[in-house]
Structures are given as C-alpha cells and as structure tokens.
Amino acid sequence: MSIFRKKNAKKGPMAEVWRKLKKNKWAMVSLFIIIFLILVALFAPLLCPYDYALQDYEHVLEVPSWAHPFGTDNFGRDIFSRVIFGSRYTVLIGFGCITVSAVVGIALGLIAGYYKKLDGLIMRSIDIVIGMPAMTLLMCLIAVMGISLRNMCIALCITHIPSFARVTRAQVLTLKNQEFIEASVALGANKKRIMLKHILPNALAPNIIEYSLGAGGVVLWSASLSFIGMGVQSPTPEWGLLISEGRQYLRTAPHMAIIPGLTIILLTFVLNYLGDGLRDAMDPRLNK
Amino acid sequence: MEEKKLLEIKNLVIQYEVNKVIVEAVNGLDLEVGEGECVGLVGETGAGKTTTALSIMGLIPDPPGRIVSGSIKYQGEELIGAKEKRMRQIRGREISMIFQDPMTSLNPVLKVGDQIMEVILLHEKLSKADATRKAQEMLEMVGIPANRYEEYPHQFSGGMKQRVMIACALACNPHLLIADEPTTALDVTIQAQVLELIAGLKENFNTAMLLITHDLGVVAEVCDRVAVMYAGSIVERGTIRDVYKNTLHPYTEGLFGSLPNLDEDTDRLKPIAGMMPDPSDLPKGCAFSPRCPKATDRCREERPQAAEATPGHFVACFHAAGED
C-alpha cells in the first residue's frame, strides 16, 4: 500500500499527460529533434566548421563532400555552416515569437474572459487581426514599420496573438462558473488570486497544443517572408533566405535550395507532430 | 432570545431578473443563528435556500440577482452593502461555506493540501511552513492522513473531497459555517460519516452552523433549531422538538406526511398535492394556499405574517395561531 502511494504521490494532471506522451513514439522522437535543434541554435558558433560568411572563390557551387557536408554556394560559402548558423534565426524566431504571442494572448484572453466589460473591446480588436489574411497582414505591418528582423518578429507576434487569446477566453468562460471558483471566493480569495492561481493553470492545457502548432507556423511564415525579401536580409543565413538565394541556381546546384528547404520541413514537421501528440495526450476521450 | 445573535436576517428580499421577468427567489425571510447553535434550513428544491446562503456570503450573482431590501447582520455588523474588501475578510475567516458537490468544489490542478493552505495564508499571517503544518493538522482532523497532502483531487473519493472541503472551510476557525446540502452528492454511508464529522467538529470548535438540506432526518440528527422554507420565506421555525412534535404549519405537516415511518405500517405515503408555485408568479396570498388542504378565502387574499405560537416557535399561517 505504501509503495503504491509513493508511486502515485505528486502526480498532477500534467504528469498524466507526460505519461501518455511518453507512449507516443513519434511525438517523443519529435521532442528530441526539437531539443536537438534548439541546442544547435544555442551553440551554433561552436559547431560551425567554417565562418558562415567566409567566401572561397576556388570552391563555388560544389556538391556535398567531406570538406563541405552540405556543399557550397555561389560565393563558395559553406552551406553546412550557414544552415547551422541559420538555425539561430529560424528556430529562435520560431520559439521567441510564439512565446511572446502566447504570453500576450493568454493575458488578453484571461482579462477578456474574466472582466465582462473589457471582453467586447479585446475580442473585437482580435477579430480585426483574424479578419485579414495572415500573409496580407504580415506584409502590411512590415511595409508600414520597415523591413528588418525586429519588425518581422513584431508582425509575427501580432498575427499569432489571436489564437491564444481565443482559446484562453473560451477556457476562462467555462472555468469561471465552476463550483471550485465559487468555493474559493466563498473562502475569501480575491480576484487576482482567482485569476492567477485557480483559472490560469486550468486554462493552460489547450494553449500548450496551440504553442507547439503555432511555433511550426511561425517558422514557415518567417521563412516565407525572408524568401520574398520582407524578412531577414542577406547575408544573414536565415533558412528561408537560403532557399531564396539558391533559387537562381536550382538547375545547376539544386542542393543550395533543397537542403535548407529540408531543414525547414523537418522543423515544421516535428513541431506539428509534437502538437498532435500533445493533443492526443490531453484528450480525455482517448483515455485508456 | 436573551443570548446574543451571531447572525440575524430580517425581512430579506432577493429577486432575479431574467429577460424582464422578475423571479422572487426570497421574500421577506427572517432567520437567526445564535452563537454555537446549529440551525437547519429545510425546503424543496427551488425554495430559495441556496440564494439565502449566497446572500449571507455576499455572493449573489449581480446581475441578474439583486437584494431588494432587508438586512443581514453578522455580530451586529450589516453585511448588505458592505465593502468588498471587508467581505473578503469575512469570507473564510468569519463565515465559511461548504458547497453541494464535492466533485467540482476543489481545483483539479492544485494539491489538496495547498488548497487548504491557501485559505490559511489568505487570512492569517503565518509563514508558509507554519501554514503547511496547520493544513496537515486540518487534514488529520477530518480523518485524512497528512501524507496525502501532496495528492491531487482526482486521487480522492467523493467523501474524501468533501472532507477536504470541510477542512478548507474550517481552517481559519470561522464562527459560522454554512453547509449547503453537504451530503446530497454522497452515498448514504458516507453521508453519515460526513455528518458525524461536521457535528463533531462543530462541538470542538464551537462553530455555529446553518445547515441547508431537504433531508428532515439529517436535520433531526444534527440541528438544535429548524426553519422550514417555502417559496422564498420561512413558514415555520422553532426548536427541533417544537417543529417535529408540535407541527403547526400545513406545509411542514405535508413534509412529514411524505416521509416513510418505520413504526407505522402505511401502504401509501401522502405526498403534498400540486407543485411549487412559479417564483416569477407567486400567488397573492399565502404562497402555499394553492396546495394547502386547509386553505380558506383569507389565505388566498392575504399573506400571513410569522407569529409566535409558543415561545421561540414561529409560524406563518392563519390556522396555526388559532385565528381560524
């Protein structure tokens, strides 16, 4: 009995989700790839065999070899180093933007759900953002603010806030009428405490799914924006920009575009897979 | 009547306004709870019992609910219109409440111990370590081993969750405990345990209690006095002995008539004919008159006021006070 109790002690609802997620092979593989890519991004300078901007005109447009695992580009720059260094931009933009969006979106959703008076204002403002096609909105925002890495990130954050705000608000609306909220009010808790301690933790679960799927979305959008020249500028090695640079040499040196393309696919794929895994793990209907 | 009243409700009127229809949930309710006393509030579903309880806590959802008139005095302090800050101090510290359904009354993502600790920290200036220790003591007191402090509500049964709720409610040693049908959602054996626990703790802490229920048996077991509520007002109140042995109001009689009796061999129970009146369209006279076997024209025209039949035994009926 005591062994049984120990085993079960300290098991919150999140521990249950983690237990189920661990059973999902592909979600776990995805999680490890994501962690690996984040580590690569953080330690990029240590991992690059060459300087990502070093031009070597004796080895131009070379196919992958031992010296240059991903080949070289039209200036003789090592693509392997450029992809590794580029992960700093792509991976960090992906997680950075989605984190900011999540924090702002969840805060807005909480306030909108909890305070009826602000609900209309916040949700209608969010409808405006949703009402426009994402690409148009992104391009408009960047066009107004000017093309730069920072402005691209701001635009990406703005476009990803609504999904978090909506999901959170829906959660808050169902949660705030639950009896345990009334019970804690009856025991003297104030509004701030109710919001942060009782409602917020209960509203987080669907946001975690949203976070994982959203990160994949941001990676794709930032690559797309860089590809069309509205994001990161040359010579910075962002993955979308690498594809754009390789486009002109697609017939003679296809590896220049294909390899960064595959890395984008890999990152987006694993983020989505993890998101799906989380959704399955959190769905009470799939309980075994 | 000489002892000091802990809680005194006078002529309380609460209405809900839904789609321009006014629902009279509570009409002119009078209720008193003395220091350390246990009062049972009995009535059918929809009689306004929970609304009364919520109004004491200042938790009537507004809108749609509204306290129209009346006064609720706690230790002589008026609670209607009290500042929100003052109400927060009172809730949990002075007056606590236990809710009907233990399954949903605990936050699913917090450890049960922390939920008890939270109440303690809200009201008492204690360090976290001291509060934790006190929360563990409270758990032991309601019969849950302290080593289950770290567990989550889903690892507890319904009866145990209700015990945790009781621990939360009593953690700051309140003067008054409002228990809103604390045993309705539990099965019969657990009901008995929980009632015993509540009664025991009440003795130990000298906590006054307002027990809301529709179970007359439960009231007889734990309460000192009982108030019978019908359509938003008290029709009869007095000591258990007065009300049970010397029943005066036809509605109370009807309630007893619809209970099976172990000593007598009855073939059929006598239910009260008809339905509760629609609280948005109450009859002009006595609210019970459409269902009352003794109803006269006067009952249908005039609303009877509560009168003292014998000392401490109030009844709101023209027939009871010998005014036939």
Given a cut of 90, whether residue A153 has pLDDT beyond it is yes
C-alpha pair distances (Å), A260 with each of A52, A93, A172, B3: 14, 16, 41, 85
Given a cut of 70, whether residue A9 has pLDDT beyond it is no
Tell me whether A7 touches chain B (CB under 8 Å): no
Q: Which positions 254-273 of A are in contact with B (Cβ < 8 Å)?
A: none
Q: Looking only at Cα atoms, what is the longest distance across chain B?
A: 67
Question: What one-character-per-residue DSSP string does B185-199 give?
Answer: TS-HHHHHHHHHHHH
The helix, strand and coil proportions of chain B, stated in percent and rounded to the nearest 5, come to 35, 25, 40
C-alpha pair distances (Å), A10 with each of A5, A17, A23, B103, B156: 10, 14, 20, 20, 13
- Name the residue facing B150 among A9, A184, A190 (closest C-beta): A9
Each domain of chain A, given as residue ranges in start order, spans 24-45+71-282
* pLDDT value for A4: 45
What integer best gives the mean pLDDT of chain A?
87
Residue B175 tokens, joined: 């003067």
In this prediction, residues A208-216 reach a mean pLDDT of 89
* Interchain pair B168, A178: CB under 8 A: no
Residue B4 tokens, joined: 């000091």
Element holding A160 (H helix, E strand): helix A149-175
Domain A24-45+71-282 is in which class? mainly alpha
* Interchain pair A187, B97: CB under 8 A: yes
CA distance B167 to A11: 22
- pLDDT band at residue A10 under the 50/70/90 scheme: low
Does residue B63 have a cis peptide bond before it, meaning omega lies within 30 degrees of 0? yes
In tens, the pLDDT along A62-108 reads: 888 888 888 888 888 999 999 999 998 888 889 999 999 999 999 99
C-alpha neighbours within 13 Å on the C-beta side of residue B20: 0
- Please state the ipTM of this predicted complex: 0.77
Interface test with B, best of A187, A191, A282 (most B CBs within 10 A): A187
**CB atoms near residue B204 (< 10 Å):** 10
Given a cut of 60, whether residue A142 has pLDDT beyond it is yes
Q: Where are the alpha helices (DSSP H) in chain B?
A: 49-57, 84-90, 112-123, 128-141, 158-170, 188-205, 216-222, 240-245, 250-257, 297-301
The least confident of A26-35, A120-129, B266-275 is B266-275
Of B8, B11, B2, B1, whose CA–CA distance to B176 is shortest? B8
Residues of chain B with pLDDT under 70: 1-4, 321-324
CA distance A18 to B273: 57
* Interchain pair B150, A190: CB under 8 A: no
* pLDDT value for A182: 86
Contacts of B109 in chain A (CB under 8 A): 12-14, 201-202
Residue B268 tokens, joined: 């059929």
* pLDDT value for B4: 66
